[in-house]
Amino acid sequence: MQDLKAKIEECVKGICSSYNILEMNCASISDVGAGVYVISDGKTALTGYSSNVKNRLLAICRGDLRISQVTKLLMANLEYVLPNLEEVNSVTGRMAKLKEEIKKLTSKLTIIAVTCPTANTRELHARIKKCIST
């Protein structure tokens, strides 16, 4: 994860004179405000941006399936989740089990939030996304 944080910092230095990089997890989400976030489960890194990063991260950590990063995280780990869903026969039971599996995934996430008052959040997001994909 330090490699990811170092990559992000190197990327941000090029466009921000003053920036803040916070590393956290779902148990300790800081009040961030507007910015970019990177969530990683160790093998998959997903990015996003928001005018209220704290609220977005809280929704991700709750496993809100309306948030695309949660769905992508679930799809990236489907081979681990599906066998556990086969044990349950009812729809309600599968939903409960799915929520449980998502909770397991989100509890292991490492989150990096980046704020830069001098940069446009969308541009900062695009830059960070490009940096971590290479």
Helix/strand/coil (H/E/C) assignment for every residue in the chain: CHHHHHHHHHHHHCCCCCCEEEEECCCCCCCCCCEEEEEECCCCEEEEEECCHHHHHHHHHHCCCCCHHHHHHHHHCHHHHHHHHCCCCCHHHHHHHHHHHHHHHHHCCEEEEEECCCCCHHHHHHHHHHHHHC
In the prediction, which pLDDT does 88 show? 82
Confidence (pTM): 0.87
In the prediction, which pLDDT does 65 show? 79
In the prediction, which pLDDT does 2 show? 61
Q: Which residues of the chain have pLDDT under 50?
A: none
